Amino acid sequence: MRPIIIAANWKMNTTPADAGALAAAIAAATAEPEVVRVICPPYVSLAAVGAALSGTGVAVGAQNVHAERSGAYTGEIGAGMLAGLATWCIVGHSERRRDQHETDELVGRKIARCLEVGLRPIFAVGELLDEREAGRAQDVVRRQVLVGLAAAGDAEALASSSLVIAYEPVWAIGTGRTARGADAAAMADAIRAALVESGWPEAAADSMPVLYGGSVTSGSIAEFLSEPAIDGALVGGASLKADEMAGIVARAALTARARRGTT
């Protein structure tokens, strides 16, 4: 049974002075043991958030990591530096692909660095609007998965890793446009097919969680979690509001219990 995961990506918001209070409020509002909860604050707030979440069952994630272990990379953060501060890490987010021109190969190397130090990667993939309108959405995501995983290392080792993939249709992030649950489910199926194509056993591909990450809110989450292929969400702007996160996690808990056949 795949876990239900709700990961909060705070992006470039909060400071060490206010991040701890927000994290604590979210933890208190989302006390659902059936749901894996992760908060990914900016680097400078990792320690404050970690302290606030101690004992709550909510994990801490980083929003990015460098593709090299160490070296002359001013202003960058290596995976080893995150040990003790985070247990998860987002890699390949669409905003980094857009603004920092991150390639699929570079993202794959970041996955490898995460796994080397025990960080659980959330590997983000997704297509642009023109790619979807041209009918190339699944081809684009398939390429991102295949190239990224080829750069990340041995397929057999990756198949037994803790990898999670987040599908984020770039055209539905902060644009007012929305994807449909059926579209996300079809892409989740395409992602798992790409895993098999890359050398994963079918059982390993079937057991890997796929999250949805296109401007998720408490009002829209139900449509995506009603799809058996979708296992949670990577939440952006809504994750800065404790009440929104409470609604999202509450709906996720209903899905988790339904899939386990419990009430």
Is there a domain that residue 96 lies in? yes
Is there a domain that residue 36 lies in? no
Calculate the CA dihedral of residues 175, 173, 256, 119 and round it to 10 degrees.
Answer: -170
Q: What is the pLDDT of residue 175?
A: 76
Q: What is the pTM of this model?
A: 0.97
**Closest alpha carbon to 236 in 216, 254, 252:** 216
Is there a domain that residue 162 lies in? yes
pLDDT at 48 over 90: yes
Provide the total of helices (H) and of strands (E) in the chain, helices listed first.
11, 8
Domain count within the chain: 1
Q: What is the DSSP letter of 187?
A: H
Distance between CA atoms of 23 and 1, rounded to whole angstroms?
Answer: 28
Distance between CA atoms of 241 and 229, rounded to whole angstroms?
Answer: 27
Catalytic: which of 32, 102, 131, 168?
A: 168
Is there a domain that residue 44 lies in? no
Residue 215, SS3? coil
Is there a domain that residue 152 lies in? yes
Is there a domain that residue 18 lies in? no
pLDDT at 173 over 90: no
pLDDT in tens, 186-229: 999 999 999 999 999 999 999 999 999 988 999 999 999 999 99
Is there a domain that residue 22 lies in? no
pLDDT in tens, 243-259: 999 999 999 999 999 99
Is there a domain that residue 20 lies in? no
Catalytic: which of 93, 95, 131, 244?
A: 93
Please indicate whether residue 93 is annotated as part of the active site.
Answer: yes
Distance between CA atoms of 184 and 224, rounded to whole angstroms?
Answer: 7
Q: Work out the mean pLDDT of the chain and round it to a whole number.
A: 96
Structural domain of 205: 4-8+64-260
CATH number for the domain that contains residue 245: 3.20.20.70
Please indicate whether residue 66 is annotated as part of the active site.
Answer: no
Q: What is the pLDDT of residue 263?
A: 58
β-bridge partners, 6: 37, 233
